[in-house]
Structure 1
Amino acid sequence: MKRHAAAAGWLSALCAGLGQWYNRQYAKGLLLVLIHAAGIYLIAAKLSPYLKGLYTLGTKGQHLEKVGKISKMVPGDHSIFMMIHGVMAALVAVLFVVIYILNIRDAVAVGRRRELEKDPRSLNSSVFPWMLLALPIIGVVFFTIMPIVFTSLIAFTNYASPNHIPPKNLVDWVGFATFHKLFNLNVWSNTFFGVMTWTFIWAVLATVTCYFGGILVALLINQQGVRFKGFWRMLFIIPYAIPQFVSLLIMRNMLNEKFGPINQYFRAFGLEGLPWLNDPIWAKVSVIVVNMWIGIPVSMVLVMGILTNIPKDLYEAADVDGASPWMKFRNITLPYVLFATAPILITQFAGNINNFNVIFLLTGGNPATMAYNNAGETDLLVTWLYKLTLDFNQYNIAAAVSILIFLFIATLAIVMYRRTRSFREEDMIQ
């Protein structure tokens, strides 16, 4: 009874497309045969040197060779280019294997349908959706997955200044030595754990202040008796409407310790100015306050849209029961707002962990400290990565830190999102 499925499966395993021909899907079979032949040729003739280069990362760097009486600089292997080409070749090979497996599954599935349906011409082909998705899939593989894989592989090499920077020097695979150095070598571990602690504190404070600040502003504007609501909404949305790059640079100048207008006003009243961006504590306070000024309008707009959808009869029933404003907020408003915005809150928390603009444009990670290696008091992990790569050429350490950031954010976001009420109720509906 299953002879069509078995025959089609074995034929497709022998050569992609043969099973489709057996199932009388001749156009699909021809396409898969051509893909199979092209894949075998590419892997055997074109991609194998790149795959070998990914394994070795080169055998000889840039060096001098004596030709007669003249010494000549000869270009050698460039380990990073070899890694990029090797990763691309490996992705092509993996893509070929995936198509080969899907070809077998498709042949078996169509063979099973042939056993149930008398007329093979009634079988519909599923090639068309895959043809439409082929270009986006290839784009995702080579413009999203490939950079992620390449960056992750750098963490397992010694690609760092001064001794392993191509083309003069080769890069070698070192396994987990980079992670061992990051966690156990004091010069790196102290910086990593210190910056990570501030990153987590910053993410929590920045998220909580902007979120609940937005709720507070939205509730105040929506209060009965408040006039010119449109004007107040426009006034609070202006900081978000202005490009963040411009706003942060203006705030940086305003908070300048010597020449900033804020300290000038203090001195006009006989007070000493504060070191807003030059003292470790005040610098951290400043970035949190400035981030509130930029981030509260976003939460305010979201919450104001939710407040208009809360049934008014709930508040009327609460008034009849003699509920106080705090009780109405705690039992009616806040649950509705949290239900609708919990996924957005998680997204804002993950975004604040990687909030590069506020820190880099406002403080540049400063003030500097001797306790950290290539990092300042207000540096987040993401701004530290920027310095490690562009300023100090410590690419392997930066790649290792980026992997840890990804694992932390992904795990935390999944766990937090699965605990939200909106996820549980959506899961129950499905």
Structure 2
Amino acid sequence: MKQHRTIAVLLSIVLQGLGQIYNRQWLKGILFMMIEVAGFIYIAPRLGGAIWGLVTLGEKTQKFVKVGKVAQMVKGDHSIFLILDGLIILFLVFVLLGVYVWNIGDAYQSGKLRDEKKPVRTFRQSYEHATTFYFPYFMLALPALGVLFFTIMPIVFTVMLAFTNYSAPDHIPPAKLVDWVGFKTFADLVKMKSWSHTFVGVLIWTIIWAVLATVTTYFGGILVALLIEQKGIRFKKLWRTIFIIPYAIPQLISLLVMKNLFNGQFGPINQYLGYFGLGGLPWLTDPFWAKVTVITVNMWIGIPVSMVLILGILTSIPRDLYEAADVDGASTLQKFRIITMPFILFSTMPILIMQFAGNINNFNVIFLLTGGNPAKGDYQFAGATDLLITWLYKLTLDNNKYNVASAVGIIIFLIVAIFSIWNFRRSKSFKEEDMIQ
């Protein structure tokens, strides 16, 4: 007999909480019912307007109308607010649908207990059961809601902007409305010469920067760690402390200090070079030397991080492997190639992939050191050292090209996601649980 579970499910489908009331779970049923009523009261009057706003992005603009001798402002639709309002309502609907499905499943389980002639849990028993067996889900529910509304929803909003013409000077609400344009923004990045030239140039430099910044800091950290751990090196703790100082100091301070040090007119580095008759270099004003400068400064900041990681790995490598290699007559280079480097790569490959992804989005070094400069005349709103992420910043805050910035943000995400997933799947760190089998 499945009479009770069937009736409970049908009642829960008709009205959330009725199934629990049918199963004599009065308090639980009332709570479910109150959630549905509250959602209906708040969402129902707004749902139609939210869908209309997302589809049309508004129909009337803000303008001034002359009434007698006085001009009065008539409020219009704000396309961006309509997108945000629509997303909030749709995400709330998604949450309420989740509660609705939970209500049906709960009614089914209680009805099943009645069909099996077993007692139905009281509210107190349901609470104790849930907190005992489903405690992790309850603890994760609030952070999950936070991620939904403060991470996923802004991402969806950003993606949607890429398919609009939201940019200055022609489409900035409320004076002028925004329209859906499909893939036109992406097509402009490829087809329009001014945009495509800038996009390709910045993209190539971003990849070169990410590779060089990752490789130099990673292998620089390995070199420093190996030197510190060499036999016969005294004051190891002192050396570790000295090399970790650049990482301990906030990047904002370090980068601003470095910016002054490399200043071409009054920077100490050019002054010291002048004392030796070498003359100064355009560290921050020449495109080539500016790129050399940012890579060098990034090494100063990034090598300590890799050094600390490698030092921990070196202490975990079994000593008997090196003793066996000595017995076999292996040289120092052979021991490094066959023993040390495989252990380091196995342990740090996930971090290496994350460092590469992080360097693609390394906003601080570029923005605080060069600001993306020096300027490049044939680029659209970008400089010679701009990465995609700093170009996105300039497009958004300095030039109000929000649709192009959103398209660039999507491209950055795709590059980082594809590279990271592909490398994670190929990495032995994720295929093998132990280095030594």
* Residue matched to 2:170: 163
Superposed CA deviations along residues 93-145 of structure 1, whole A, max 9, x for unmatched, are 12112222233334345555666684434985665445544433332222222
Change (3 A) 1:23 1:215: farther
**Does residue 215 of the first structure (1) align with residue 225 of the second (2)?**
no
On the 8 A contact 2:262/2:284 being kept in 1, the answer is yes
* Residue matched to 2:294: 287
* Residue matched to 1:34: 34
On the 8 A contact 2:61/2:174 being kept in 1, the answer is yes
* Residue matched to 1:80: 80
> 1:300 Cα shift?
0.4
Change (3 A) 1:114 1:381: farther
Change (3 A) 1:182 1:314: same
* Residue matched to 2:278: 271
**Unaligned stretches of 5+ in structure 2?**
none
One-letter code aligned to 1:29: G
Q: 2:397 aligns with which of 390, 415, 425?
A: 390
Q: Matched residue of 2:91: which SS? A: helix
Q: Matched residue of 1:300: which SS? A: helix
* Residue matched to 2:259: 252
* Residue matched to 2:387: 380
* Residue matched to 1:17: 17
TM-score (norm 1): 0.93
> 1:241 Cα shift?
1.0
Percent identity, aligned pairs only, is 61
Change (3 A) 1:61 1:84: same
Looking at structure 2, the residues matched to 30 and 8 of structure 1 have their Cα atoms a distance apart, in angstroms, of 15
> 1:85 Cα shift?
1.6
Looking at structure 1, the residues matched to 425 and 107 of structure 2 have their Cα atoms a distance apart, in angstroms, of 37
> 1:30 Cα shift?
2.3
Once the two structures are superposed, the pairs formed by residues 171-320 of structure 1 within 5 Å of their partners are 171-320=178-327
Change (3 A) 1:265 1:396: same
**Comparing 287-296 and 252-261, the one that deviates more:** 252-261
Looking at structure 2, the residues matched to 102 and 330 of structure 1 have their Cα atoms a distance apart, in angstroms, of 56
> 1:284 Cα shift?
1.0
RMSD (Å) for aligned C-alpha atoms: 2.3
* Residue matched to 1:59: 59
Looking at structure 2, the residues matched to 377 and 161 of structure 1 have their Cα atoms a distance apart, in angstroms, of 24
> 1:75 Cα shift?
2.8
* Residue matched to 2:344: 337
Aligned residues: 428
One-letter code aligned to 1:208: V
Looking at structure 2, the residues matched to 109 and 213 of structure 1 have their Cα atoms a distance apart, in angstroms, of 60
> 1:71 Cα shift?
3.0
> 1:171 Cα shift?
1.2
One-letter code aligned to 1:207: T
On the 8 A contact 2:113/2:119 being kept in 1, the answer is no
**Comparing 306-315 and 110-119, the one that deviates more:** 110-119
Q: Matched residue of 1:393: which SS? A: coil
Superposed CA deviations along residues 292-316 of structure 1, whole A, max 9, x for unmatched, are 0100000100111111111111111
Superposed CA deviations along residues 352-373 of structure 1, whole A, max 9, x for unmatched, are 0000010011111111112211
> 1:270 Cα shift?
1.4
**Comparing 63-72 and 345-354, the one that deviates more:** 63-72
**Comparing 60-69 and 286-295, the one that deviates more:** 60-69
Looking at structure 2, the residues matched to 317 and 117 of structure 1 have their Cα atoms a distance apart, in angstroms, of 70
* Residue matched to 1:145: 152
Q: Matched residue of 1:376: which SS? A: coil
Superposed CA deviations along residues 169-215 of structure 1, whole A, max 9, x for unmatched, are 11112122111112211111111111111111111111111111111
Looking at structure 1, the residues matched to 343 and 304 of structure 2 have their Cα atoms a distance apart, in angstroms, of 19
